[in-house]
Chains A and B, each alone.
Chain A
Amino acid sequence: MIKLLKTVWRWLDDRLGISVLLSPAKHIAPQDAKWWYVFGSATLVAFIVQVASGVALAFSYISSSSQAYETLLFITNNAPFGSFLRGLHYYGASAMVLMIGAHMAQTFLFGAYKFPREMTWTTGICLLGFTLAMGFTGQLLRWDSTAAWSVVVAAEQAGRIPIIGDWVARFILGGNTIGGATLSRFFAIHVFVLPGMMFAFIGLHLWLVFRHGISEPPVAGKPVNPATYRAEYEELLKKSGKPFWPDLAWRDVVVSTLLIIAIALAAFFVGPPVLDKPPDPSILAADPRPDWYLLWYFGLLSLIPERIEGYVMIGFPILIGLFLLFVPIWNHKGERAASRRPWAIAMAFLSVIMIGALWWEGQHSPWSPNFEAQPLSGKVVRATTGPVFTGAQLFHDKGCLNCHLVEGFGGRRGPDLTYIADELTHDNLVIRIVNGGTNMPAYGPSLKPGELDALVAFLETRKHSLRRQEQQTETASSSMAATNE
């Protein structure tokens, strides 16, 4: 039996050339390429998870503006493994973005983008762009209220491009407004166009990895010299190279297995992102936000001054893209070791800090009004009748609390007013409320007689001394109650 199987295998292998096809897996690679080198393959594995889970989801998903939401509900709530699959696709995307980040950081810090691997890096940057575009279009296929409004936001951003902006915006919307044509075009882009490009570029990227070999770990004081590098690399492989499969590849398999387990656990225990309201653009209580991997960009756009915002919106991605694409062209030789490239360390470090900080800001978005702010409690107001009480009510009703904090309650868009009376006099408070400020509406015209006085009366009680007094009375009465007991 075994003999027969062997004969069949030999015949198939001869006619199909399977061993030859797989032979690049056995190419000789530097033996020191160890745990730092696993992120590229982990990204590829995450991509495979995406393809597999995406194909499975497409069995039930209908890319029609009117039905997609219902099919998502069905997939999530009724289809066997549906929720798990959606989770796989979501956390798979997250894992892919994270692994690309790690892979890029490693390649950058190891100087692996230098001669002769410049185009390996450049094709990788294209793949980064495609992945982020996949992330964004994928979020839109989760066709709920957030997705529909995100399309509008994307169109408005595109609308700022000089000359062709309006066209691009209409192209994104699929017409003059969200409608029947909107979702199907994102579906086509997410499922056919971008994956097609990604397959092509992954092929090219891998071909370049084989063509130029896996870079050896850098050694300080051993700079890349394009004239001699290739010969040195060959020499190194001859001396101490190991076949990639299985001597080095086993680490990739271990890490990829851990990654898949992590994705599956997250999909199972945390579950897919919750669906928002239906994608009905007449529901105006929507608060569109990008998924986490683009949240930092949302943060950036919210924090930059309005004057330069349009330029940043369009120029920043172009500049970053160009910089990343061309880094290896102008910096293709010299030291590779991070210890000899302080600027490289600083840049990688700053990028992480910057993206992290912007992400954090995006997550908390203090610039967004708090529409859920509840009226202040009696404990905060410290009055149950009279103008202070009325003022506190007005402070909520007039929307002040949407943007201002009082003792930790309210919004963070404007300054914290917990102790505002220590800073502003009665007259200043009046002027501020009536005339507004740089980022505050003028309330003068909309306040009825008496309302201004009540608001000011309330704000005048926002003092350190009054709050302390209140706290002291509270402690005294509670200790008295304890003694009585």
Chain B
Amino acid sequence: MNTSLVESSSVPPTETPQEISRRRFFEKLSIALVGLCTAIIGLPLVGFIVAPFFRKVPEKWVTIGKPDDFQIGKTVAITVTDPSSLPWAGVTAKSGVWLRRVSEDSFIAFSANCTHLGCPVRWLPDAELFMCPCHGGVYYSDGKVAAGPPPLPLFRYDVQVANGEVQMKQAIVPISTTL
């Protein structure tokens, strides 16, 4: 077992200083070249992998229906499809959003993500509460925290009524809670 612990040097004992400096030079040259190769291959590779950080998605308005499709005072689940999704996203391009028609021309679009850890909150129409299945976070109908661990009210997306249509700014997963 221990034989391998004895370090042996392969450098012949009789070497001139020139030979040594030549060897050091080759050593450094080789290390530098390996570094260069790593950079040539590695940088584009890392860039490709971390690209999602920098993918600026144009914020588009998405039409979600006509105002009359929604009753005043009611909160309903709507499905929004990401207009800038990748072609192979399939069903994952969809997002669920809770839409509340507050008055004639005012709407609130709540992100379905609990502000605690992102689980999908459910609307209990009779109780007029949003409830989270993960750790029991509860929100009032206006999205304010009613109970449980969520630190912030439900995230709201921009909604507007334009040209007789209710439109919403694309649903992203809000990363709202920080330390």
Listed in ascending order, the chain A residues whose CB lies under 8 Å from chain B are 27-28, 64-67, 69, 148-149, 152-153, 155-157, 159-162, 165-167, 169-171, 173-183, 185, 210-213, 230, 233-234, 237, 278-288, 301-302, 306, 309-311, 314, 367-369, 371, 397-399, 402-403, 413, 436, 438-442, 446
Closest 9 CB pairs of A and B: A66-B90, A180-B86, A441-B146, A399-B127, A159-B175, A156-B118, A180-B89, A176-B172, A282-B96
User: Interface SS of chain B: helix, strand, loop or mixed?
Assistant: loop
A284 with B149, Cβ < 8 A, contacts A66-B92, A211-B4, A413-B136 known: no
**What 16 additional pairs, Cβ within 8 angstroms, besides A65-B89, A69-B91?**
A153-B118, A169-B175, A175-B57, A176-B57, A177-B171, A179-B93, A180-B93, A181-B52, A284-B96, A306-B151, A311-B179, A368-B136, A369-B133, A371-B122, A399-B127, A446-B141
With most chain A CB atoms within 10 A of its CB, the pick from B88, B96, B141 is B88
A234 with B2, Cβ < 8 A, contacts A397-B127, A441-B146 known: yes
A155 with B173, Cβ < 8 A, contacts A162-B179, A171-B53 known: yes
User: Smallest CB–CB gap between A170 and chain B, Å?
Assistant: 6
Which residues of chain A have C-beta atoms less than 8 A from B126's C-beta? 397-399
A170 with B131, Cβ < 8 A, contacts A64-B90, A436-B146 known: no
Listed in ascending order, the chain B residues whose CB lies under 8 Å from chain A are 1-2, 4-5, 49-50, 52-53, 55, 57, 77, 79-80, 82, 85-96, 112-113, 116-122, 124, 126-129, 131-136, 138, 140-141, 146-149, 151, 170-173, 175-179
Q: CA of A212 to CA of B3 in the docked complex: distance in angstroms? A: 11
| Complex A-B: 8 CB contacts under 8 Å | A155-B118, A174-B52, A177-B171, A397-B126, A398-B127, A440-B147, A441-B129, A441-B140
Q: Select A162's contact among B5, B53, B141, B178, beta carbons within 8 Å.
A: B178
Q: CA of A179 to CA of B50 in the docked complex: distance in angstroms? A: 16
Which residues of chain A have C-beta atoms less than 8 A from B55's C-beta? 175
Contact B127 A152 (CB under 8 A): no
Which residues of chain B have C-beta atoms less than 8 A from A233's C-beta? 1
The chain B residue with its CB closest to the CB of A241 is B1
Query: What is the count of residue pairs linking A and B with beta-carbon distances less than 8 angstroms?
Result: 205
A149 with B120, Cβ < 8 A, contacts A66-B89, A287-B134, A440-B147 known: yes
User: Smallest CB–CB gap between A64 and chain B, Å?
Assistant: 5
The chain B residue with its CB closest to the CB of A306 is B149
Which residues of chain A have C-beta atoms less than 8 A from B85's C-beta? 179-180
Which residues of chain B have C-beta atoms less than 8 A from A281's C-beta? 91-92, 94-96, 120
Q: CA of A365 to CA of B128 in the docked complex: distance in angstroms? A: 24
Contact A284 B128 (CB under 8 A): no
Contact A310 B147 (CB under 8 A): no
The chain B residue with its CB closest to the CB of A402 is B131
Which residues of chain A have C-beta atoms less than 8 A from B176's C-beta? 159
User: Smallest CB–CB gap between B84 and chain A, Å?
Assistant: 9
Which residues of chain A have C-beta atoms less than 8 A from B2's C-beta? 230, 234
Q: CA of A388 to CA of B179 in the docked complex: distance in angstroms? A: 46
The chain B residue with its CB closest to the CB of A188 is B49
The chain B residue with its CB closest to the CB of A403 is B136
Which residues of chain A have C-beta atoms less than 8 A from B117's C-beta? 153, 156-157, 301
Contact A284 B120 (CB under 8 A): yes
User: Smallest CB–CB gap between B144 and chain A, Å?
Assistant: 10
Which residues of chain B have C-beta atoms less than 8 A from A441's C-beta? 129, 138, 140, 146-147
The chain A residue with its CB closest to the CB of B77 is A284
Q: CA of A152 to CA of B5 in the docked complex: distance in angstroms? A: 49
Contact B52 A170 (CB under 8 A): yes
A314 with B95, Cβ < 8 A, contacts A153-B118, A167-B53 known: no
With most chain A CB atoms within 10 A of its CB, the pick from B2, B92, B136 is B92
Q: CA of A288 to CA of B118 in the docked complex: distance in angstroms? A: 10
Contact B95 A177 (CB under 8 A): yes
The chain B residue with its CB closest to the CB of A411 is B136
Contact B135 A302 (CB under 8 A): yes
The chain A residue with its CB closest to the CB of B95 is A281
A367 with B90, Cβ < 8 A, contacts A170-B52, A212-B1, A397-B126 known: no
Q: CA of A213 to CA of B120 in the docked complex: distance in angstroms? A: 52
Contact A369 B136 (CB under 8 A): yes
Q: CA of A457 to CA of B66 in the docked complex: distance in angstroms? A: 43
Which residues of chain A have C-beta atoms less than 8 A from B128's C-beta? 446
A399 with B129, Cβ < 8 A, contacts A367-B135, A440-B147 known: yes
Q: CA of A282 to CA of B140 in the docked complex: distance in angstroms? A: 21
